[in-house]
């Protein structure tokens, strides 16, 4: 029976902090008699977090002391006065400034003889965790937390707090996976595009994505295949159903020149299978669109790729080919590599999507 969910209203990271703190607290041996199932799942969560750094549960009764906002860190759990679990908690947002390095440094000063276990919990999605891991943190994904919570469902936990959060997290996962069962023409919304971009990034082995805000409402964008050109870089960007060739030019004085060269080169190389055309308006900023895939064809191509199999087991790969021969476009820099063609290839995605 459908019912209101607390976490449909309490959607902030603070609410998630509270849930994680609550479930970690249940791992303490003092609460086993109150609710054995919740206690067992709390211990399982502690065990999974410790395993990220190769730590094991301490022997004997488990004692867990939880703090929130220690030095502005989201959650801290002291395990048997031996191990300190540091948790930075995110819901689609990402780390900023030097916060992860700072938290870990302050913890080392506070507990020089304890084992430190820094964990970055992300129940949303982000395109890269390189900087997180570079600063000594390990990632606990939404799928990892769902696995732990699923054990609680199997144990028959009746807590409304637990069951609401589990349903809430499953709802996020379901929304992210809508691209597998619905074509883009049905409207994937932001969550569906995130899921599609995560899977595409994994299949391609490259690329990045994020939400791009603009006055017209913004879009989810996936960018890949960066190529160095004179005065900047050339790359591909999928702005939801709009496929673009773009240039990045940091030197303001060179933007008009580079933009003019590359919209001509790309559109001259267009073919019936790669119908790139000049955009209706050419920008003048650091990142500029120089060609767009014909809008009707782009939408049809994306939908056709989606219908190839359900769920999606393939990935459209678009690459730009170049030669180092001087370009022939009048007024072009002789050192500019000539844009020759694009290659659109549909094939099995590594490992499936």
pLDDT tens for the chain, residues 1 to 353 = 678 888 888 877 889 999 999 999 999 999 999 999 999 999 999 999 999 999 999 999 999 999 999 999 999 999 999 999 999 999 878 777 789 999 999 999 999 999 999 999 999 999 999 999 999 999 999 999 999 999 999 999 999 999 999 999 999 999 999 888 888 878 788 899 999 999 888 888 889 999 988 888 899 999 998 989 999 999 999 998 888 899 999 999 999 999 999 999 988 888 777 788 899 889 899 999 999 987 665 556 555 454 433 333 333 445 554 433 333 333 444 333 334 333 333 333 323 33
CA distances from 107 to 34, 59, 184 (A): 32, 23, 46
DSSP state of 15: H
Q: Is residue 326 part of a domain?
A: yes
Q: Is residue 111 part of a domain?
A: yes
Final residue of a domain: which of 150, 175, 200? Answer: 175
Q: Do 170 and 204 belong together in one domain?
A: no
Q: Do 171 and 188 belong together in one domain?
A: no
Tell me how far apart the 2 most distant CA atoms of the chain are, in Å. 82
Q: How many helices (H) and strands (E) does the chain have?
A: 9, 13
Region of 139 please: left (phi>0), alpha (psi -120 to 50) or beta. beta
Q: Do 145 and 20 belong together in one domain?
A: yes
Structure-block tokens of residue 100: 């992860």
Final residue of a domain: which of 158, 175, 192? Answer: 175
Please, are residues 66 and 46 in contact by the beta-carbon 8 Å criterion?
no
Q: Do 214 and 96 belong together in one domain?
A: no
Q: Do 28 and 168 belong together in one domain?
A: yes
Domain that holds residue 122: 6-175
Final residue of a domain: which of 114, 143, 175? Answer: 175
Q: Do 230 and 163 belong together in one domain?
A: no
Q: Do 120 and 248 belong together in one domain?
A: no
Q: Is residue 235 part of a domain?
A: yes
Quote the CA–CA distance of 318 and 316 in Å, as a whole number: 6
Number of domains in the chain: 2
87 phi and psi angles, rounded to 5 deg = -125, 120
Q: Is residue 1 part of a domain?
A: no
Q: Is residue 25 part of a domain?
A: yes
Q: Do 140 and 17 belong together in one domain?
A: yes
Determine the angle formed by the axes of helices 142-154 and 160-176, rounding to 10 degrees. Answer: 140
What pLDDT does residue 122 have? 96
Please, are residues 225 and 206 in contact by the beta-carbon 8 Å criterion?
yes
Q: Is residue 207 part of a domain?
A: yes
Q: Do 218 and 100 belong together in one domain?
A: no
What pLDDT does residue 295 have? 63
Q: Is residue 353 part of a domain?
A: no
Q: Do 128 and 254 belong together in one domain?
A: no
What pLDDT does residue 251 have? 96
Q: Do 15 and 101 belong together in one domain?
A: yes
């Amino acid at each position: 029976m459908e019912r209101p969910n607390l976490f449909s209203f309490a959607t902030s990271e603070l609410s998630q902090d509270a849930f994680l703190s609550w479930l970690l607290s249940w791992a303490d041996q003092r609460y086993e008699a109150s609710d054995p199932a919740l206690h067992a799942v709390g211990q399982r969560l502690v065990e999974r977090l410790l395993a990220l750094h190769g730590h094991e549960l301490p022997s004997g009764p488990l004692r867990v002391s939880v703090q929130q906002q220690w030095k502005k860190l989201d959650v801290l759990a002291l395990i048997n006065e031996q191990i300190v679990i540091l948790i930075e908690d995110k819901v689609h947002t990402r780390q900023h400034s030097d916060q992860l390095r700072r938290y870990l440094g302050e913890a080392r000063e506070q507990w020089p003889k304890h084992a430190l276990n820094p964990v970055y919990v992300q129940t949303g999605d982000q395109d890269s965790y390189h900087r997180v891991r570079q600063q000594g943190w390990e990632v606990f994904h939404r799928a990892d937390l769902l696995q732990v919570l699923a054990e609680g469902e199997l144990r028959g936990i009746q807590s409304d707090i637990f069951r609401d959060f589990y349903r809430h997290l499953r709802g996020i996962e379901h929304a992210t996976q809508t691209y597998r069962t619905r074509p883009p023409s049905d409207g994937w919304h932001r969550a569906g595009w995130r899921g599609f971009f995560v899977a595409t990034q994994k299949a391609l082995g490259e690329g990045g994505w994020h939400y791009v805000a603009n006055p017209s409402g913004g879009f989810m964008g996936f960018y890949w295949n960066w190529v160095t050109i004179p005065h900047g870089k050339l790359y591909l960007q999928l702005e939801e159903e709009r496929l673009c060739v773009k240039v990045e030019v940091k030197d303001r004085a060179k933007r008009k020149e580079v933009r003019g060269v590359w919209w001509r080169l790309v559109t001259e190389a267009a073919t019936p299978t790669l119908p790139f055309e000049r955009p209706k308006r050419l920008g003048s900023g650091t990142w500029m669109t120089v060609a767009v895939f014909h809008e009707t064809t782009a939408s049809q191509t994306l939908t056709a790729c989606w219908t190839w199999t359900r769920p999606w087991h393939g990935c459209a790969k678009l690459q730009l080919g170049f030669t180092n021969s001087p370009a022939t476009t009048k007024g072009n820099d002789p050192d500019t590599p000539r844009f020759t063609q694009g290659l659109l290839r549909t094939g099995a995605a590594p490992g499936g999507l």
